[in-house]
Amino acid sequence: MVVFPYTVAFLLLSSLQTVKIANSQSFIGINYGQVADNLPPPPSTAKLLQSTSIQKVRLYGSDPAIIKALANTGIGIVIGTANGDIPGLASDPNFAKSWINTNVLPFYPASNIILITVGNEVMTSNDQNLVNRLLPAMQNVQNALNDASLGGKIKVSTVHSMGVLKQSEPPSSGSFDPSYGDLMKGLLEFNSANGSPFAINPYPYYAYRSDTRPETLAFCLFQPNAGRTDGNTKIKYMNMFDAQVDAVFSALNSMGFKNVEIVVAETGWPFKGDDNDVGPSIENAKAYNGNLIAHLRSMVGTPLMPGKSVDTYLFALYDEDLKPGPGSERSFGLFKTDLTMVYDVGLSTSSQIKSLAAASQPLIAATTNTINNNNSMSMNTSTCNCMCNCTSTINISSGSNKVYLIIIFNLDFLYGFMGLSLICLFFYDLQT
Distance, CA of 131 to CA of 79 (rounded, Å): 20
Distance, CA of 315 to CA of 203 (rounded, Å): 10
Q: How many alpha carbons lie under 13 Å from residue 72 in its C-beta half-sphere?
A: 3
Distance, CA of 272 to CA of 258 (rounded, Å): 37
Instruction: Please give, one letter per residue, the 3-state secondary structure of 401-431.
Output: EEEEEEEEEEECCCCCCCCEEEEEEEEEECC
Instruction: Give catalytic residues, as residue numbers.
Output: 121, 266
Distance, CA of 130 to CA of 99 (rounded, Å): 18
Distance, CA of 83 to CA of 277 (rounded, Å): 29
* Among candidate residues 410, 409, 412, 406, the one with its CA nearest the CA of residue 427: 406
Distance, CA of 389 to CA of 54 (rounded, Å): 22
DSSP 330: G
User: Are residues 180 and 164 in contact, defined by beta-carbon separation less than 8 angstroms?
Assistant: yes
